Structure 1
Amino acid sequence: MAANGFTPDEAAQWVTALDTGLYIISAQLTVRPGTVQAAGDGVMLFVQTRAPSGAQTNVITVREIAQQSQTLQTITACSIVHLSAGTSIGLAAYLDSGAKAYAVQESGALGGLSAFMVAPASSFGGSSAQLVTADTWADREHLDAEVMTRRITRPLGVLYNPPRFACRAMAPYSAASGQRRALPWKAGGSFEQSGGWTTDGAAFTAPASGLYWVSLCAATMRSGPEGAYGSYQMNILRNGELVSLHQRQVTRTDYHASIAATDLIYLTAGDRLSVEFLGTGTGLTWRAPSDDDSTHWGTIAAVMLGASATSMEA
């Protein structure tokens, strides 16, 4: 384990953040199943936080289906999370395999947990710094200390408190195979933002131009026969156009699985970020997980990383 700004416990199960801020968290777990049932077994990966009081919270939950015996399968999870100083993060796994043996692979490249701070913001929501462009410097211009300080520090403010949003609950949805539809989100208390992001429940509108780190975790379940009869896509769109495609397969009936994805996307102020669902297969119906707590299974989030970028090519 390598850590800078985090301290691990003796068992290296939890690592504790020393500083408050916004963190990009990524995790992966690789398993090798023994005998699997015909339609596959679920493998769940939880990213958890632990407060100094000891209270634990799942901040990311992903489930994929392992379909082949003795074959490595890697499950990933990612999101943007606000951590207060003294909060710890850790991983937990659940193998939906009954009495059958699963082995968690221990080699370094096959599993891991990483987190890095993108801004020392005091909370996830709230006010964001005003996006200010750098002033023009003129030859032989006289600058007093106040002007010099302002010109240097004002453009940096957004780096310490960048525009960001997170919506941590999907709304119910259903779609027939071959039907494209916008994935709906619960835009009430599950939506947090800073900097002026807005949403209509289907798309999220960027308040400022720049390069954004976007993360997605979304789940679906289907009807129809057991087995490899249908796959599905959760695609990230910008103004209705595909920018990031992600595809998985669900082999069990009425049993949900999910996709975790991340990408760097340039957004201009006013651009709309959304997720398109597409299921395949003949005669299948795809729908949101029938879970009492839908916050387990859906999150979309973004944070600005490059305030000065004018395009992805710049």
Structure 2
Amino acid sequence: MTCVSNALGYVDPNHYAYANQEIAIAALGVLAHYMGKSIEGVGRMVLDAIVKHIEPTIRRMIDEYGIPVEHVELTGGGGGCATVVPIVAQTMGVRHKIARNHQYISPIGAALAMVRDTVERTIINPTNEDIMSLRKEAVNLALKSGAQKESVDVTIDIDSEKNIVRATAVGSTDTKQGQSMKPDLNNVDLLERATDNFSHIHITSLDPLTLTSHFNVYKGDEEVHGIKKVLRRQKKHFLVLDKKGTTRLRLLNAEIKDAPNRIMQGELKQWLDLHTKYDVGGEKTPDVYVLIWESCDRFYRHTKRRSNVEVNQYRTH
């Protein structure tokens, strides 16, 4: 694959896997002559055969995490990543980048630098105190495992049908916190970073929606044409960047509410009433992401009864 990717120009000269393109083309030419096809045609056959085995795994991960495919960015790590990542990203129609010093980076090592701890309890009609206690326990476990406090995000999963409450804390160890030493970016630089995040989408407008001391939230509008460009609809893309320029959250067709902590409870209850859907299975409430201080926490359900999380009691200290 290295020879084919070099022959077809997918590997840049500054990448570790770069090789002499003329030699790669000559080598691929032997196979092309034997098969009676063009060099590019044979090269595409080889790459397509490889992508065919990689793409399904990536798409399963996208589905598992519920990420809109247009918000996906593939990052390459390892010496040979430049021979694989660009062609996979091109086939899937998503963004990609090759990590700086990628030849020294092991994707497995990077994954191991993430800390993930889950606390699960069986609780009937959990109260706010139950939920916050479980959250605190999950965060403390992540910190004991080596996660940096400012990197920990928490997902609260309430399954009312089975009476299960689950708190999952995910954070980065110190090996991934070199970015914390960087100075904060100003709003102009952050807007440029946001623009780059949407460079692969036909955004008609990009505006800063909310600017806080820890996060900048941006909204990008995309006009999608239907059959014969007659039917049109708009997609609303939302991007949350921290002050270092790191993407903390990306959402599609969401609704953003910005309010002081003391009045968020009423806002959240009204919003849940407005967006709760009902079917034969009961109530279905939308996912809720809470940005408070430096944390981005998620509350979501796959159940019949509504969670009674009160945001005005959420991390007010």
Bucket of the pairwise TM-score, normalised by the shorter protein = under 0.3
Structure with higher RCO (Cα < 8 A, 6+ apart): 1
From the two aligned structures, give the one with the greater strand fraction. Answer: 1
**TM-score, normalising length: structure 1:** 0.25
Give the number of the structure whose alpha-carbon radius of gyration is greater.
2
